[in-house]
Structure 1
Amino acid sequence: MRNNIIVVVNPISGDIDKSEFIDAVALFAEKENFNPVIYNTSGVNDIDKIKVLYQTYKPQRIIITGGDGTIKMVAEAMENQDVILGILPAGSANGLAVDLNLPATLEENLEIAFHNEYMMIDMISINGKKSVHLSDIGLNAELIKNYEKSTIRGKLGYALQAVSTLIDLDEPFFATITGDFPTIECVARMIVIANSKKYGTGVSINPNGLMDDGKFELVILKNLDLVVLGKIITGNITTDDAEDIEIISVKNALITTSVPVSFQVDGEYCGSETKLNVEILPKHMKVAVPYTDPDYGFI
């Protein structure tokens, strides 16, 4: 008797044809004696439909073919369920896959997604929205808003919109951040709510971040001149950069801004906000991972 496995496919993520992924999953499942149940997302009641599929087939794993937004959606659908999520990266930037050090080839990722052990990853709640990777307000969220309006996808699309966004850069905003730490009042270009280290482009924004430590980092970028941008892009942020970049590790925070500021969650633009209520959700999802990263403890 074959074991059921649900395969959630986002047909439009990353502007990538998913037929190769679906064919590869079908072949791998046949070889490994799994019965794959393919679900293509439509943007209409996907969470509820995935819940119904889970209750119908009760798989031990769900394989996700998409980007960070698709992973987040499945994680929300599977909240409080004992199921392992396997990732076949197929989004525009694949930030979570980058942070998990998933390999470049589909063949290797199939093996990991179907068979590897898992790690328990924290999630973050921001005004009730769930985040599994990196969310922010300010410059990057503005870039994502522009990217979503553009017709050029992938890393090239991000690069083009980065140039355009920097040219049309708004004035910095004033932010007050409170929590179980001394109140922070600052002028900022961008505040990152980080559950991990890197954006999908490979840019390291939170060098010491871990996804399973019961905390998240607030990365406050007060200045974004060429020197600071260079340090971010090359992953050379240090404690000596406190005048330009401040990083604090917390379990909850309330961020209030003087004006509405663009806000994004895991690569999805969510409008403008003046108040963000943020809290950690420890050990909230199981994700299949490679065995080689010494930063994490695998189960």
Structure 2
Amino acid sequence: MQKNNVMMVVNPISGGVDKWDLIEEVKHYAENLNLNFYCFETTGVNDLQNIKDYYAKYQPDRVLIAGGDGTIKLVAEALENEDVLLGILPVGSANGLATDLGLIKSQEENIAIAFQDYFVVIDFIRINNKMCLHLSDIGLNADLIKNYEKSPLRGKLGYALQIFKTVSRLRKSFQVHIKTSDQLIETKAQMIVIANSQKYGTGVMINPIGIMGDGKFELIVLKKLSFSVFWKIIRGQITVSSKDITVISTEKAMIQINKPISFQIDGEFYGKESNLDVQIKTRKLKVAMLKV
């Protein structure tokens, strides 16, 4: 591992904004610290292996990630078995992980934090052998992600438009069977969130008891997604348990659904699923933070 090498992974299309100025600013910051700077841009083709190869070539002890939740997950998957410090530069359409970590600051502040030596160690979730860093869900929001990926309009305006379209077509509920270490639940639901943290990229609170390093994840079972329940979620007024919402904290769960339902992980649509095997992987990733 080369302590004088720093690698930056950039998703050039995330958030619908140009990244050239950001790359130049990070390069300049690295050079001022006498660090060798290497930049990799994702293309959407074989990115996982290409990131692994690029990392193996330069062996940096720090990797900066410029993108949203999906880009962070991509890099974390590629470097899962490496002892590397991750710096997050949130410039995606969905920046939920950065929001939960308190990294939604100015570009200059986020760059400075990404070069800090202080860090936190966080868990991740494994769902059907796929990594989830932040939030996954099955149901309404996954439909939104699917519609957004098909839309030519990116950024916050694109998200807002798809929220309106998706919520206006609320689907019927599905039957779900959930088995955890100590509970067995059978209920109808319109959406199930698998959460390692608290907020969606929009800042909306979905999991008030989420802590990314506590060795547990939460299942938020939304039994009925009426507009009143949706409004509570938007306003951050979700409660741990009510007649319409149940929150379960656990280390593992088996989720069975009576029919295939839209499924997403960290802002990326993964098709439809009817069976989910969910497990927590504790204290796996180091993320640069501002020491307080």
Give the alignment's TM-score, normalised by structure 2. 0.96
Structure-2 residue corresponding to 1:280: 280
Deviation of 1:63 (Å): 0.6
Structure-1 residue corresponding to 2:226: 225
Deviation of 1:160 (Å): 1.0
Contact 2:90 2:104 in 1 (8 A): no
Aligned-partner Cα distance in 2 for 1:281–1:223: 30
Q: Does residue 207 of the first structure (1) align with residue 205 of the second (2)? A: no
Deviation of 1:74 (Å): 0.7
Deviation of 1:80 (Å): 1.7
Deviation of 1:56 (Å): 2.1
Contact 2:224 2:244 in 1 (8 A): yes
Structure-2 residue corresponding to 1:297: none
Aligned-partner Cα distance in 2 for 1:190–1:150: 22
Aligned-partner Cα distance in 2 for 1:250–1:45: 34
Give the alignment's TM-score, normalised by structure 1. 0.94
Unmatched 5+ stretches in structure 2: none
Identity of aligned residues (%): 55
Structure-1 residue corresponding to 2:98: 97
Deviation of 1:274 (Å): 0.6
SS at match of 1:115: coil
Q: State the aligned residue count.
A: 291
Deviation of 1:204 (Å): 0.1
Contact 1:2 1:33 in 2 (8 A): no
Aligned-partner Cα distance in 2 for 1:211–1:53: 28
Structure-2 residue corresponding to 1:266: 266
Contact 1:132 1:195 in 2 (8 A): yes
Aligned-partner Cα distance in 2 for 1:178–1:70: 31
The residue type paired with residue 198 of structure 1 is K
Contact 1:69 1:267 in 2 (8 A): yes
Deviation of 1:198 (Å): 0.1
Mean Cα deviation higher: 245-254 or 166-175: 166-175
Aligned-partner Cα distance in 1 for 2:109–2:95: 16
Deviation of 1:2 (Å): 8.2
Write out per-residue CA displacement over residues 2-44 of structure 1, whole angstroms, 9 at most, x where no aligned residue.
8111111111111111101111111111111111101111122
Deviation of 1:291 (Å): 2.6
Structure-1 residue corresponding to 2:12: 11
Deviation of 1:87 (Å): 0.7
Contact 1:263 1:269 in 2 (8 A): yes
Aligned-partner Cα distance in 2 for 1:276–1:290: 35
Aligned-partner Cα distance in 1 for 2:161–2:46: 33
SS at match of 2:60: coil
Unmatched 5+ stretches in structure 1: 293-299
Aligned-partner Cα distance in 1 for 2:155–2:56: 35
Mean Cα deviation higher: 137-146 or 94-103: 94-103
Structure-1 residue corresponding to 2:190: 189
Write out per-residue CA displacement over residues 217-240 of structure 1, whole angstroms, 9 at most, x where no aligned residue.
00000112232122211212224x
Mean Cα deviation higher: 80-89 or 151-160: 151-160
SS at match of 2:22: helix
Aligned-partner Cα distance in 1 for 2:216–2:21: 38
Alignment of 1:1-299 (within 5 A): 3-239=4-240, 241-292=241-292
Deviation of 1:290 (Å): 2.6
The residue type paired with residue 247 of structure 2 is I
Write out per-residue CA displacement over residues 225-273 of structure 1, whole angstroms, 9 at most, x where no aligned residue.
232122211212224x421110010011011111110000000000001
CA RMSD across the alignment: 1.4
Contact 1:2 1:35 in 2 (8 A): no
The residue type paired with residue 85 of structure 2 is I
SS at match of 1:223: coil
SS at match of 1:60: strand
Write out per-residue CA displacement over residues 84-119 of structure 1, whole angstroms, 9 at most, x where no aligned residue.
000111110211111111142111011110124111
Aligned-partner Cα distance in 1 for 2:230–2:167: 11
* Structure-2 change in CA distance of 1:220 and 1:2 (3 Å): closer
Aligned-partner Cα distance in 1 for 2:64–2:117: 12
Mean Cα deviation higher: 151-160 or 118-127: 151-160
Deviation of 1:66 (Å): 0.8
Aligned-partner Cα distance in 1 for 2:168–2:53: 47
